[in-house]
Amino acid sequence: MTKTVEANVRPDYDVELQKIADYVLDYHIDSIEALETARYCLMDTLGCGLLALRFPECTKHLGPLVEGTVVPHGARVPGTSFRLDPVKAAWDIGCIVRWLDYNDTWLAAEWGHPSDNLGGILAVADHLSQQRVAQGEAALTMREVLEAMIMAHEIQGVLALDNSFNRVGLDHVVLVKVASTAVVAKLMGANREQLLSALSHAWVDGQSLRTYRHAPNAGSRKSWAAGDATSRAVRLADIALRGEMGVPGALTAPQWGFYDVLFTKTNKDQALKPDADRRFSFQRDFGTYVMENILFKLSFPAEFHSQTACEAAVTLHPQVKDRLDEIDRIVITTHESAIRIISKEGALANPADRDHCLQYMTAVPLIFGKLIAEHYEDDFHAENPLIDELRSKMEVVEEARYTRDYLDPEKRSIANAMQIFFSDGTSTDRIEVEYPIGHRRRRAEGIPVLKGKFSSNLATRFPPQRCERIIDACADQQRLEQMPVHRFFDLLVI
């Protein structure tokens, strides 16, 4: 007999949503390493945003949707004079943070940039801190910002460990939206029901395709996609706090839920996964693991899978800079994810295309000994035809060990190796770099570089005395944690 009715029994919230909500509401952060790393992450992320303000293609997106809008207790956008509603401020902060592909990174089955969540976190925290003080209440402190960062990193990163969204064509910013929704809802005072409602709407919401990250459609949307996601999170949290009902079966509803609609293939060549395998896998409980193991981009504004390849190229530069016209072939040995995401040939149409091309990102430091954001611009590319000549001589091969170690939770290496062969039959050494300088295993070496990067980025926007005040505010863990959020933001505006 044909079924003509559906059972309308409203379910409890999906256990995955409850797991996230309970972590955000109940987990106590006491990891000194996580809090200290979050402080460094805050510094690095703000510096990346300030550096991006040098690029008109980025700044054209900033500011109120309606010119002249005045927002009481408006959230500030660092490095600017804008005071915006928290939704647009989150968009703008997220945009500048991500524009140059220079902020932190997490690599696993899925990848992404957990500091993208700072768009929503900072916008909401600055607005609420100002509002509370105006009402005679205590301001939010920077400790609350650091804790929100740790939790957003953890939600995004743990979901990424075993669950590949890129395999089904979805962009990783879905995880920014979910993580930001959880932590900004908490900052805004959500109870458990409101937080669950907000999370359910984040999953039911439309999700971005990865189209704009891959050849032949790679483009600048990838530079503002995370800002859009963290901004949407603030909007959804606000909707939930106004009493909007949630969608309890957002993930698991048969036919209509996220799993059945969007999480149904392991890759483009396989049929539907069995129902049991369609659900998210949690490799570990939520804690502070992701912030403690986060990867910083310290030397190169480049897609992270290429960081160690760029480092190898810089090492080889002295050996090849006077023999560039003698190069016969260049062999890059890498891991599977790098091949799938950033190995490409053919014409590169724009800066976003170039900073996601392994061959371009290694050719530049081979020639010039460094790689900076300006090296992706159209004029620079046009003026240096040797870059494409070297690209045409590159061979990219996978090393199985690199792929295994990339996914090993105890290693999380991002290995690349490079060797140059010349037309006379000679060759350079084979330079292998398994862990980039921003890796946890190289923290002692990396933190001084991070501080130098932060100082340099501040100097692109502020005069020396202001730079000193900002550096001083960030230098001491306890003092920063106790600082009111709006006072911290006072240092960051012009």
Lowest model confidence (mean pLDDT) among 57-66, 324-333, 410-419: 410-419
67, two tokens = 């010119």
Predicted local distance difference test score (pLDDT) of residue 141: 98
Bridge pairing between strands 416-422 and 83-84: unpaired
Which tens digit of pLDDT belongs to each residue from 346-400?
999 999 899 999 999 999 999 999 999 999 999 999 999 999 999 999 999 999 9
Contacts of 325 (CB under 8 A, 6+ apart): none
Check if the beta carbon of residue 17 is closer than 8 Å to that of residue 251.
yes
The whole-number average pLDDT for the span 469-477 is 98
For 113-127, what is the mean pLDDT?
98
Question: For residue 268, what pLDDT is reported?
Answer: 41
Give dist(CA 207, CA 186) in Å, integer: 23
Express each pLDDT in 447-472 by its tens digit. Answer: 999 999 999 999 999 999 999 999 99
Q: What percent of the chain has pLDDT over 90?
A: 89
Separation CA 488–CA 149 (nearest Å)? 16
pLDDT at 162 over 90: yes
Residue pLDDT, tens place only, 33-89 = 999 999 999 999 999 999 999 999 999 999 999 999 999 999 999 999 999 999 999
**What φ, ψ does residue 344 adopt, rounded to 5°?**
-150, 155
For residues 269 and 266, give the distance between their C-alpha atoms in angstroms, rounded to a whole number.
8
Question: Is this structure's pTM higher than 0.75?
Answer: yes
Contact between 172 and 165 under an 8 Å Cβ cutoff? The reply is yes
Contact call for residues 124 and 90 (beta carbons, < 8 A):
yes
CA–CA separation, 54 and 99 (whole Å): 11
CA distance 52 to 50: 5
Q: What is the pLDDT of residue 211?
A: 95
Residues 349, 303, 146: CA angle, nearest 5 degrees? 130
Mean pLDDT value across the chain: 94
Q: Which residues of 151-165 are buried (b: 16+ CB within 10 A; e: fewer)?
A: bbbbbbbbbbbbbbb
Torsion, Cα 119 121 126 130, to 10 degrees, reads 140
Report whether pLDDT(9) > 90.
no
